């Protein structure tokens, strides 16, 4: 199975913001959209960074509530690890495990086309196992 399959099933909508977004606004976006990460993009939809709920909590713990009014660029990860639609789910799982990353943006031709979370990967893995189990049952009973 490929990353493209996950995006085709879950959709390609990604909550994004610009580097001028405040940490507070990013926290609101995360809360309102029930997501764990927001991708920061430039005017050309190129990935500039990523900020997660953990990054926000760490910033508040380090600097107090005043960090909430600073730009998201002050706490985001600028060196964003990305994947392509052509990568396999196994490659993506290895990448997430090695990087200890829960969210990996998906890029095509230098542009953001989706995001995959660890939850998306687990769901796709479970679906693949269920399909395999169904096929084995059908083979045994058929």
- Better-predicted residue by pLDDT, 72 or 135: 72
What CATH number corresponds to the domain at position 87? 3.10.580.10
Domain count, the chain: 1
Tokens of 76: 């985001």
Residues 110-121 pLDDT 10s:
889 999 999 999
Whole-angstrom Cα distance, residue 83 to residue 91? 9
Would the pLDDT of 142 be above 90?
no
Residues 76-132 pLDDT 10s:
988 999 999 999 999 999 999 999 999 999 999 988 999 999 999 999 888 888 988
| 3-state SS track over 83-94 | ECCCCEHHHHHH
Tokens of 115: 């995001």
The CA distances from residue 8 to 28, 31, 51, 135, in Å, are: 27, 24, 24, 22
Range of the structural domain that residue 98 is part of: 3-141
């Amino acid at each position: 199975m490929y990353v493209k399959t996950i995006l085709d099933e879950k959709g390609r909508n990604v909550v994004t913001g610009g580097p001028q977004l405040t940490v507070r606004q990013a926290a609101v976006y995360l809360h309102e959209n029930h997501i764990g990460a927001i991708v920061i993009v430039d005017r050309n939809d190129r990935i500039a960074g990523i900020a997660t709920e953990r990054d926000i909590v760490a910033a508040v713990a380090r600097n107090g509530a005043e960090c909430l009014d600073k730009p998201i660029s002050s706490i985001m990860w600028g060196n964003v690890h990305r994947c392509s639609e052509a990568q396999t789910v196994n490659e993506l799982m290895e990448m997430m495990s090695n990087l200890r990353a829960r969210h990996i943006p998906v890029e095509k031709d230098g542009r953001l086309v989706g995001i995959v979370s660890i939850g998306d990967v687990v769901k796709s893995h479970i679906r693949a196992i269920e399909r395999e189990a169904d096929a084995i049952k059908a083979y045994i009973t058929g």
